[in-house]
Structures are given as structure tokens and as C-alpha cells.
Amino acid sequence: MSTHQAEDLATFMEGVQRRNPGEPEFHQAVHEVAMDIIPYISDKPIYKDLKILERMTEPDRIISFRVVWQDDSGDIRVNRGYRVQQNNAIGPYKGGIRFHPTVTQSVLKFLAFEQVFKNSLTGLPMGGGKGGADFNPKGKSDLEVMRFCQAFMTELAKHIGPDTDVPAGDIGVGAREVGYMFGQYKRLENRFEGVLTGKALEFGGSLIRTEATGYGAVYMMQDMLTHHGESIDGKVCVVSGSGNVATYCAEKLLQLGAKVVTLSDSSGFVYDEEGFTHEKLQWVMDLKNKRRGRIEEYAHEFGAKYHEGEEPWGVPCDLAFPCATQNEIDGEEAKLLINNGCRGISEGANMPTTPEAIKVIQDFPALLHAPSKAANAGGVGVSGLEMSQNSLRLSWTREEVDERLRAIIRGIHDQCVEFGTTSEGHVDYFRGANIAGFNKVASAMLAYGVM
């Protein structure tokens, strides 16, 4: 980056920080994109003159609302819900809903901003949005979760629709929560339409949507390795998380002949030196999705080691798949991974590496590193396919959806190579994903004129 570009970046970021005080996650996500886009547009005055990046960083609107519900003991509870409608230049707003006590406007703005670029990369007509609430589903009964979801949807329904904004799941929002929200939308609007994705198969869901994010993160790794003359077969893999993304990431790794040795939750991680099997993984899915237990129980059941309060990045591995949450790999952990022999990271979670970690990894170009907006786009990609199936009123087969998912990820990999290959022949997957994601949205915004 030239001195002039570095000054432009600093000025741009000062504006973002001034307009969005106290939103560190949002600043981080914008900075990660601006580092690549500001040099890219430095010789393209139309983008600068028409303030395309400034406009992209300002959400179209943010809806924030009260969610009131009654717990099982009859007490009234109050939470705050949000929907950030970031940008609909290339299609209806699209992105998940997160229920977690750490949800703030800053977290949802970073996720919505990332979603715009990710959705653009899929090649499907989807804009970007994200929503959620500071509600903690952990420890709540099914009926409490149902009452919360119904109260949340009672307000959200006024702002969404199959051609306006189509939410889906994210942390704390899986099949159960999507079912409750879809049911409430249907009741309120008296319309059966594809207003949410990630629905169960019985009422308009798509095959492979549940698996898609985890599978996609592995397909992305497969494409990076193939491009560099290697394969997944036989690689030792460290996976964090034990939710939707982590478990299906592990499943696809096993199918492709890798050895998965860790899974985690917010309390700690389990290290199974012999490796997970399909049966063990099924046990974890049952533990997490039905019994709603803790990963520690796996260690007691299968005799693996449990590391309380720790993350798995110190475990020697060939490949790492952060699939839990944002900023889960910091600079020191990135160094640890590299020193222990890790040669590939595919980000299943959104923004799981801190800026310090990215810097450490960039200084070690032999490590292949796919950013979340590319690596986890399989989830929203299959959500886009669910929208298509809902509009067509038909269901594609498992093979058909998987083939389309495979093609979406291959397309994303190719775009990263096209826009991210440096003069030394190294592929900077972050740069490639940022520029390719930006181009399509920016072109659409230019076509619409000043708005």
C-alpha cells in the first residue's frame, strides 16, 4: 500500500469510527475490507467520487425493538431485538438471526456488513442483512424458547418478506427456533411463503441446508489444497465449536479421509487423539441438538481429554477450522498454529481471526487462509437455493443441491484466485474475496445513481 493509500485508509476509518462510536466489531470488519478496497479503487475515480465504499458501510436501516415474553415461572422478561438491513443492491436482504447474550448492535452490524460481500460472492441475487437478540436460549425450556421466538417474530414480521428480507439461523438459532418463527409469521400474515430459510424439509426447507456451511468450509479448503497440489486425505484437523457449522465441517472432513481430533464449546475443548468417527460425531449432534448438553460429556463417554476453559489452537494439526465465533484466534494462537505445523485455515465462523492473527498469517504465506466471507458462504448459498426452490414450489434432490453447493464454492475459490493472486504468484484469499465481493455490489450501486 502506498503512503497516499495509507492516508486515504486512515481518513476513511476515522470517518467510520466517528459515525459509529463504541462499535469495535463493526470497525474491525470494515477495516479488514477497506485495507483491500481502498488501494483497489485508488485508480478508479468513479468509485471514490461517488463514495461507494462510504455508502456500503452505512446500513440502509437498522430496526431495533423490544421483545417481551413470559418465562415458565410467570415472570415477564424483556430483551432487545434487531434487524440490520445493510444493503439490497443485488437482491433482498439475506442473513441469519443470532440469539446470544453477547449480541449488540456492533456485532450485528459487523455480521451484516460481511454478509453483503459473502452473498455477492455466491453469485446469487442476495443482498446482506443480519439480526438477532441478546436472548440466551441456553437453559431455557422449549416453551420458553417458543414464546421468545413468537414475540420476536411479532415485530420482525413487519419488516421482512420473501422479496424484501429473508432471515435464517445463526448462533443459537437452529431448526427449532426457525420452526417457531416461521409458524408465527404464517399465523400473523396468513401467508405460506419462503420468508425464512433453514426451514425443516416438511415445510419448505432445502436438503443440505443444515450441512451446507460446514460442508462448504471443507470444500473451500479442498479447493485451496487442490490449487496448491495437495489434498485433504490423511490430514489432521482441529475444529472449534460443536454446533451446526462445526459438526458438519467435521462430518465432511471424515468423509474425505481426514482425521478430526478436537471439538469445543464455550466451556472448553475435547481432544480425541484417536480421532472422531461418524458414530462419535452422531453422539455429539445428539448431545448438542437434543439433550443440549456440554462437550465435556464427550470426554467422559469416550475417554478423550477435556481442557476446561481452553481453545484447541495449541493442538498440533495440518489444518484448522475455527467454527465457533468471532475473534477466537488471536495473534499468539496464530503463531502457535504455525509453529505446530498448521498449513491451512478455513473460517467456518464469521471473522474468527483477530487483526493481529491475520497479520501473523500474512507474514507466513505458506499457510493457506480462507476468510469467512468465502469459506462459510455455503450456508447462505444453499439458503439462496432454498429461496429458488420455494419460488418454484418444488424440491431438488440431495445430489442436485450438493452439486450446486460444490459449484458455488468452486466459483468463490476461482474469484479469489482471479482477484487475489499477487505479482509473486501467491493467492491472497482475503484480498480476492473482498475485491470480488465488492465489484458486483458496487456495479449495481453505480447503475442506480445517487441514493
Catalytic residues: 130
Is 85 marked within a binding site?
Answer: no
Q: Minimum Å distance from CB 247 to ligand NDP?
A: 8
Minimum CB distance to ligand NDP smaller for 44 or for 138: 138
Could you tell me the three cell numbers for 193?
A: 411463503
Q: Is the dihedral of CA 20, 32, 64, 157 positive or negative?
A: positive
Residues 191-210 close enough to bind ligand AKG by CB under 6 A: 197
Alpha-carbon dihedral angle through residues 340, 268, 331, 334, given to the nearest 10 degrees: 30
- Residue 166 in 3-state DSSP? strand
Q: What are phi and psi of 343, to 5 degrees?
A: -125, 5
Q: Is the dihedral of CA 339, 345, 350, 355 positive or negative?
A: positive
The answer to whether residue 323 forms part of the interface with ligand NDP (CB under 6 A) is yes
Is 118 marked within a binding site?
Answer: yes
The answer to whether residue 380 forms part of the interface with ligand AKG (CB under 6 A) is yes
| Residue of 39, 172, 312, 381 interacting with ligand NDP (CB under 6 A) | 172
Query: Residue 197's binding partner, choosing from ligand AKG, ligand NDP, none, with beta-carbon cut-off 5 to 8 A by kind?
Result: ligand AKG
The answer to whether residue 52 forms part of the interface with ligand NDP (CB under 6 A) is no
The answer to whether residue 168 forms part of the interface with ligand AKG (CB under 6 A) is yes
Question: Is the CB of residue 440 less than 8 Å from the CB of residue 419?
Answer: no
The answer to whether residue 95 forms part of the interface with ligand AKG (CB under 6 A) is yes
DSSP element (H, E) containing 82:
strand 76-87
For residue 76, count other CB atoms closer than 10 A to its CB. Answer: 8
Query: Residue 243's binding partner, choosing from ligand NDP, ligand AKG, none, with beta-carbon cut-off 5 to 8 A by kind?
Result: ligand NDP
CA nearest neighbour of 377 among 126, 72, 164, 187: 126
* Residue closest to ligand NDP, measured at CB: 243
Strand-strand pairing, 259-265 and 268-271: antiparallel
The answer to whether residue 179 forms part of the interface with ligand AKG (CB under 6 A) is no
Distance between CA atoms of 39 and 395, rounded to whole angstroms? Answer: 44
The answer to whether residue 325 forms part of the interface with ligand AKG (CB under 6 A) is no
The answer to whether residue 265 forms part of the interface with ligand NDP (CB under 6 A) is yes
Is 94 marked within a binding site?
Answer: yes
| Residue of 32, 144, 170, 328 interacting with ligand AKG (CB under 6 A) | 170
Q: Give the Å distances, CA to CA, from 28 to 43, 243, 354, 374, 389.
A: 25, 25, 8, 17, 36
* Residue closest to ligand AKG, measured at CB: 96
Query: Residue 353's binding partner, choosing from ligand AKG, ligand NDP, none, with beta-carbon cut-off 5 to 8 A by kind?
Result: none
Minimum CB distance to ligand AKG smaller for 126 or for 250: 126
Question: Is the CB of residue 435 less than 8 Å from the CB of residue 419?
Answer: yes
| Residue of 194, 379, 432, 437 interacting with ligand AKG (CB under 6 A) | 379
Q: Minimum Å distance from CB 293 to ligand NDP?
A: 10
Question: Is the CB of residue 206 less than 8 Å from the CB of residue 251?
Answer: no
Is 129 marked within a binding site?
Answer: no
Binding segment (CB under 6 A) for ligand AKG, from list 175-183, 271-279, 302-310, 374-382: 374-382
The answer to whether residue 169 forms part of the interface with ligand NDP (CB under 6 A) is yes
Q: Minimum Å distance from CB 385 to ligand NDP?
A: 13
The answer to whether residue 94 forms part of the interface with ligand AKG (CB under 6 A) is yes
Number of H helices, E strands in the chain: 17, 12
Is 373 marked within a binding site?
Answer: no
Minimum CB distance to ligand AKG smaller for 86 or for 383: 383
Contact residues for 421 (Cβ-Cβ < 8 A; gap 6+): 427, 428, 432
Question: Is the CB of residue 378 less than 8 Å from the CB of residue 122?
Answer: no
Minimum CB distance to ligand NDP smaller for 120 or for 244: 244
Distance between CA atoms of 366 and 344, rounded to whole angstroms? Answer: 9
Can you list the pairs that 443-447 forms with residues at least 24 positions away whose Cβ atoms lie under 8 Å?
Answer: 444/89, 444/90, 445/50, 445/52, 445/55, 445/56, 445/89, 446/46, 446/47, 446/50, 446/52
Query: Residue 348's binding partner, choosing from ligand NDP, ligand AKG, none, with beta-carbon cut-off 5 to 8 A by kind?
Result: ligand NDP
Contact residues for 7 (Cβ-Cβ < 8 A; gap 6+): none
| Residue of 20, 122, 325, 353 interacting with ligand NDP (CB under 6 A) | 325
Kindly list the residues in this chain that would bind ligand NDP in the complex (CB under 6 A).
96, 169-172, 174, 213, 241-246, 265-267, 323-325, 348-350, 376, 379
User: Which residues are annotated as part of the binding site for substrate?
Assistant: 94, 115, 118, 169, 383
User: Which residues are annotated as part of the binding site for NAD(+)?
Assistant: 213, 244
User: Which residues are annotated as part of the binding site?
Assistant: 94, 115, 118, 169, 213, 244, 383
Kindly list the residues in this chain that would bind ligand AKG in the complex (CB under 6 A).
94-96, 115, 118, 168, 170, 197, 350, 376, 379-380, 383
